[in-house]
Structure 1
Amino acid sequence: MLLSALEKLPSLRGAEERVRFLIRARTLRAPSPYPHSVLQEIRREAGLRHARTFALTEHACASGLLAVEVAGMLLEEEGDPEALALILTGEKALTRETQFVPGVGTTGEATAAVLVAASGTRDRVRGFATRTVSTGHPKMVMTPEAARAFRGMYADVLTEVIGEAVDAAGRTMDEIALVLPHNVNRVAWTKLADRLGTRTERVLLDNVPRTGHCFGADPFVNYVTACELGRLRPGDHYLMVAVGLGACFAAMVVEH
């Protein structure tokens, strides 16, 4: 699955030697038995011989957006304008516990490959915000008490984090052309859109019934769909949103 995502990333072809960081943004902490490393296999298969490899896991499904921010900081420190970072996110839903989130939604299997540079003329990150709030139970399957705490804080904290990202970008919600959400369910996003003061039509919900919630890959899968549907024009600002159980909230404003 990871290699298939790389094969659909044309800007990587011929640029393998420039990749300095290979980052796997995971929701699941241990997707394969120790000491087997899928990431090292990818590094060899893809010819990324100069890439330092590591994983980000503790933000769960919000790890993908965090990885973009981390990649930008690492590339800035690298100081080489030609250097790139490659992010891989998305999982296999191998167990009953990972195939659905009780009372929330169904999960799907997908991966996304994201190529990051410190600067350039493509999609540019304009604002990012993240917040971690403990529910007292940081496991994949939360206790009923932790789940109630998570549901109780969800809308308030996510609204605040989105506001922080939009403010950091120097924009207002009225200037956000499209929201690329995590694909948990339609009901949650219909309510949140009203709370944010934006129309539900500006939230890309096409993939909720098609793919389900694909862990950390959701915002990036939705980006590809948005481009295919012609929903983004040059100069548009869009908002990527993700939430990880535990609970981690992330929002990123990007200029297309």
Structure 2
Amino acid sequence: MTAIVDIACHVPEQSVAVDDIGERVQAGEHLMRTFRKFYGLREVRRSQSTDVRETLLAAAANLPGLRGNEHRVRHVLYARTVSTIAPAGQNPLEDVCAALGLDNAAAFTLTQHGCATGLLGIELAGRLLASDGDPSALALVFAGETTFSPALQIIPESTVMGDCTAACLVGADGERDRLLGLAVRTYGQYAEGFPPYPLDPGFLKDHNELLAAVILEAAEAAGVSVDELAVILPHNVNRLSWVWTCRALGLPVERVYLDNVPVTGHCFAADPFINHVHARAAGRLRPGDLYLMASVGLGATFAAAVLRH
């Protein structure tokens, strides 16, 4: 059974107010007031560098389970939201693998699922390891990008983007953070709603009900009810969307770990993993707890995974 062996994140030190980002991209005051007052967005973390290699290596440096186990890593997956993150001729993931000494690993990227790609990466890593037949083998999954382009700064109807990254070591089996159930649904009718184009109004209308449905499907796949979940580790798009999603689920919004929404913003596919690290440190995720990770990618893919810590 797929399990997350270790998980870490990198949160840049620099905080930038969402109003400052709105000014940079010439967003209207009405939108920024909505972000602050209703969406719970206050600031995001931004890297001093737009080179994603630096932020991925910083996440890996915080992953103690990797040190001394580099020879066991057979696969490296980079779960990306954006298809192009570097100039032609550069391969950031190969450079990261070389810097980490992952000589035995096959490295590749995942895209086309938007910000839901990270959860797909965990599940795919488990399938690859199971097919290898080596119980000691590991996979390394990266998530998170940098906001190197003005088009990546803000999703106008939704959120402000940040530069935090995450790294996960995955095993084919393990004693904790075992993957019990996964649900993924792609609704292609919303495929054109991707910045710099405006989001499809239908997507905005249906988002919360569709997210609630995929959460229920993941819980059913795991053989549990949503009432049994100790915490939901969300994508940090905004607080209001989770209030509405929780109403659809019949859950109190306090069940969702939203502490990072005001301070990190939405960090591409890395949010659920960053929230895992912080919820654990805050005592919101304890050994034996059932929990759920959820994320939505524009385009539009909805994903949810149930695990036991």
Q: TM-score range by the shorter chain?
A: over 0.9
User: What is the match of residue 194 of structure 2?
Assistant: 140
What is the CA–CA distance in structure 1 between the aligned matches of 2:159 and 2:147, rounded to whole Å? 13
What is the CA–CA distance in structure 2 between the aligned matches of 1:161 and 1:71, rounded to whole Å? 21
What is the CA–CA distance in structure 2 between the aligned matches of 1:139 and 1:83, rounded to whole Å? 39
Once the two structures are superposed, the pairs formed by residues 70-81 of structure 1 within 5 Å of their partners are 70-81=124-135
2:86 pairs with 1:32: yes
What is the CA–CA distance in structure 2 between the aligned matches of 1:84 and 1:126, rounded to whole Å? 18
CA displacement at 1:24 relative to structure 2: 0.4
User: What is the match of residue 72 of structure 2?
Assistant: 18
Shift >2 Å, 4+ stretches: 135-140
User: What is the match of residue 223 of structure 2?
Assistant: 170
Counterpart contact for 1:135–1:149, Cα < 8 Å: no
What is the CA–CA distance in structure 2 between the aligned matches of 1:187 and 1:156, rounded to whole Å? 13
User: What is the match of residue 138 of structure 2?
Assistant: 84
2:162 pairs with 1:105: no
What is the CA–CA distance in structure 1 between the aligned matches of 2:200 and 2:152, rounded to whole Å? 16
User: What is the match of residue 186 of structure 1?
Assistant: 239
CA displacement at 1:207 relative to structure 2: 0.3
Once the two structures are superposed, the pairs formed by residues 86-235 of structure 1 within 5 Å of their partners are 86-135=140-189, 137-138=191-192, 140-141=194-195, 143-144=197-198, 147-235=200-288
Deviations 1:135-184 (A, max 9, x none): 3544631644x521211321222111111100011110110000001001
Structure 1 residues 250 and 142, CA gap change in structure 2 (3 angstroms): farther
Counterpart AA for 2:69? A
Structure 1 residues 238 and 40, CA gap change in structure 2 (3 angstroms): same
Q: TM-score, normalised by structure 2?
A: 0.80
What is the CA–CA distance in structure 1 between the aligned matches of 2:197 and 2:152, rounded to whole Å? 15
What is the CA–CA distance in structure 1 between the aligned matches of 2:163 and 2:295, rounded to whole Å? 16
User: What is the match of residue 20 of structure 2?
Assistant: none
Please list every run of 5 or more consecutive structure 2 residues that lacks an aligned counterpart in the other structure. 1-54
Q: TM-score, normalised by structure 1?
A: 0.97
CA displacement at 1:199 relative to structure 2: 1.1
Counterpart AA for 2:112? E
Structure 1 residues 169 and 85, CA gap change in structure 2 (3 angstroms): same
User: What is the match of residue 104 of structure 2?
Assistant: 50
The root-mean-square deviation of aligned C-alpha atoms, in Å, is 1.2
What is the CA–CA distance in structure 2 between the aligned matches of 1:168 and 1:111, rounded to whole Å? 28
Counterpart contact for 1:243–1:249, Cα < 8 Å: yes
Counterpart contact for 1:75–1:84, Cα < 8 Å: yes
Counterpart AA for 1:104? S
Structure 1 residues 138 and 19, CA gap change in structure 2 (3 angstroms): farther
What is the CA–CA distance in structure 1 between the aligned matches of 2:308 and 2:243, rounded to whole Å? 24
Counterpart AA for 1:8? N
Counterpart AA for 1:11? G
Counterpart contact for 1:181–1:203, Cα < 8 Å: yes
What is the CA–CA distance in structure 2 between the aligned matches of 1:207 and 1:233, rounded to whole Å? 19
Counterpart AA for 2:82? L
- SS of the residue aligned with 1:121? coil
User: What is the match of residue 67 of structure 1?
Assistant: 121
Counterpart AA for 2:308? E
Structure 1 residues 7 and 233, CA gap change in structure 2 (3 angstroms): same
